[in-house]
Amino acid sequence: MSERVTAERVKVFAAAARVPIQDDAAARAARAAEPTVRRLDELALQLPLETEPASFVAIARKGARTQG
Amino acid sequence: MSDPALLSLTEVAAQIRERKLSSVELTQALLARIEHWQPRLNAFVRIEADEALAAAREADAELARSGPKGVLHGVPMAHKDMYYFAGKPAGCGSKIREGWIATQTSSVIRRLQDAGAIRLGALHMVEFAMGPTGHNAYLGPARNPWNTARITGGSSSGPAAAVAARLTYAALGSDTGGSIRIPANFCGVTGLKASYGRVSRANAMPLSFTLDTVGPLCRSAEDCALIAELIFGEDPLDPVTAGAPAWNEAATQRTVGSLKIGVPKRFYVDDLEADVAAALDDTIALLRKLGAKTVAVDLPDPGAIDAAAYLVLSVEATSFHAPWLRTRPQDYTPQVRNRLESGLAYSAVEYLEALRWRGPALAAHLEAIGDIDIIVAPAARAVAPKIADTDPAGGANPDAIKEMSRFLRPMNYLGVPALVVPVAHSAAGLPIGLQLVGRPFGDETLIALGRALQQASDEHLRVPQLQ
């Protein structure tokens, strides 16, 4: 299975963020992030178009209102 | 008279107001214990004895002059060193913030001060709250009062150690991925991770704006309620609290017989150490005896929720720290720098999908729990491990360290409240806690159940002895 998160990718993202990163650190970061990215890939998320981060607030308040 | 340092927050607050104890007596009692325990625990990063005694004398004089300022009049306290007090340093467990002086006071600290609390000093924490063990390569590790070879847990390491050893009556911690609940569990104290958006984070050190919560570590659920009543509610300085309900004391009076308790069928009950599994079973039996209805519940994929929480936390922490990663990377300890660099590995789309999924994930959780009021689950699969075995700088397995938060991070992502209560001690004499997980904004119901458990057990009253 090919890696989703590579050291090369981390170096590109770090350069875009203007954060210096050594080769070994980029490789370490890629190894650390890989399981998380793969775990979320497994979900194959198909979020409704209208879902935004603040949707959470509305759902939390609805969940609170239904308390006994 | 017995040592007033051993009384609860609720007891000492009442006794000061009733003029049965003075603030100076309490402060002296705590300072005496701190003198003995601090060399063994490393729980404090600063002890401000002279200033605390001066504040205590002023509190006693004010009480005589004009009565109590509030419910915490003259009660000495110390908090995690990430809450800002104007004019005081807040090192955040780091070299980078060493010597930095806050110009503002945290809203939660202001509320405790307005209620009359006085400051004893500041408590140890993991560097920038990035780690679950209590190690800090810059400050040295905090140590568990029940066995100083064991970790406290983190990142609110000092608050848990200090509350457990009776060096402060209560302490504020913070919980982004378990940072109140891990050390509360390992040190045998009661810790409340508040619902996201119910407690202001203004002028406290941020880690992840999506997941950060503020809450107390105390000697009991009763004491947590006393602090919660003061710090919960809207704050114009923290927009996520807009519309947040204030603390509802009446809701803490629910009876156990009115509660429906969920017990997870998987994940949270998998691969537990025998002592932890027994503590869970015994507590479920106690809950039934107290009249609660218990049901098994299948919660939606906690592993995926944990992964989303980890991704969001990583990216947001790296975003906060990007300016220092550009200019002062050498001033982080290697372990924290490594963690921050891992936040560079995720794409913007991955981050935003993890963030957008939060609402649907909560909706699925609510669908699964139905009308369940509280879920009871372990806070960790085992008791506090040894400091030497979990040192990130000493070659400990990072995955094993990350595992310490696996039962806890999902609640940060879901934004739900959780209360850790000590329920047992292991055969080796180490505390075992459980987490009670509520519905959104159901913090008061957790206090109701925590209080009932602590009325039926004296685990929370056990005090570690100096080895």
Nearest of B384, B452, B393 to residue B419 by alpha carbon: B452
Nearest of B165, B167, B132, B170 to residue B151 by alpha carbon: B132
pLDDT digits (tens, 9 = 90+) for B55-66: 999 999 999 999
Searching chain B, which residue's CA lies closest to the CA of residue A55? B359
Mean pLDDT of chain A: 92
What burial class does residue B319 get, using C-beta atoms within 10 Å of its C-beta: 0-12 exposed, 13-18 middle, 19+ buried? middle
Q: Do A56 and B346 touch (CB under 8 A)?
A: no
pLDDT confidence tier of residue A1, bands split at 50, 70 and 90: low
pLDDT digits (tens, 9 = 90+) for B142-176: 999 999 999 999 999 999 999 999 999 999 999 99
pLDDT digits (tens, 9 = 90+) for B226-282: 999 999 999 999 999 999 999 999 999 999 999 999 999 999 999 999 999 999 999
A-to-B residue pairs, Cβ atoms closer than 8 angstroms: 141
ipTM of the complex as predicted? 0.96
Residues in chain A: 68
Judge whether B193 and B187 are in contact, CB under 8 Å. Answer: no
pLDDT digits (tens, 9 = 90+) for B194-205: 999 999 999 999
pLDDT of residue B140: 97
Cα–Cα dist A24/A43, whole Å: 30
Give the pairing type, strands B418-425 and B190-193. Answer: antiparallel
pLDDT of residue B395: 78
Q: What does each C-alpha distance from B102 to A42, B83, B111 come to in angstroms?
A: 44, 9, 17
What burial class does residue B349 get, using C-beta atoms within 10 Å of its C-beta: 0-12 exposed, 13-18 middle, 19+ buried? exposed
Q: Do B345 and A21 touch (CB under 8 A)?
A: no
Searching chain A, which residue's CA lies closest to the CA of residue B325? A19
A6: part of which helix (H) or strand (E)?
none
Q: Per-residue pLDDT averaged across A25-32, rounded?
A: 96
Nearest of A17, A7, A28 to residue B348 by alpha carbon: A17
Judge whether B446 and B417 are in contact, CB under 8 Å. Answer: yes
Instruction: Spell out which residues of chain B touch residue A13, defining contact as CB-CB under 8 Å.
Output: 344-347
Of the listed ranges A22-31, B278-287, B403-412, B430-439, the least confidently predicted one is: B403-412
Catalytic residue among B8, B80, B107, B314: B80
pLDDT confidence tier of residue A68, bands split at 50, 70 and 90: very low
Judge whether B300 and B365 are in contact, CB under 8 Å. Answer: yes
Bridge partners, B436 (sequence order): B376, B419
Q: What is the number of H-type helices and E-type strands within chain B?
A: 15, 11
Cα–Cα dist B92/B103, whole Å: 15
Mean pLDDT of chain B: 96
pLDDT of residue B392: 81
Q: Given CB atoms, is B239 within the 8 Å cutoff of chain A?
A: no
pLDDT at B427 over 90: yes
What burial class does residue A64 get, using C-beta atoms within 10 Å of its C-beta: 0-12 exposed, 13-18 middle, 19+ buried? middle
pLDDT digits (tens, 9 = 90+) for B306-364: 999 999 999 999 999 999 999 999 999 999 999 999 999 999 999 999 999 999 999 99
What burial class does residue B185 get, using C-beta atoms within 10 Å of its C-beta: 0-12 exposed, 13-18 middle, 19+ buried? buried
Cα–Cα dist B459/B425, whole Å: 8
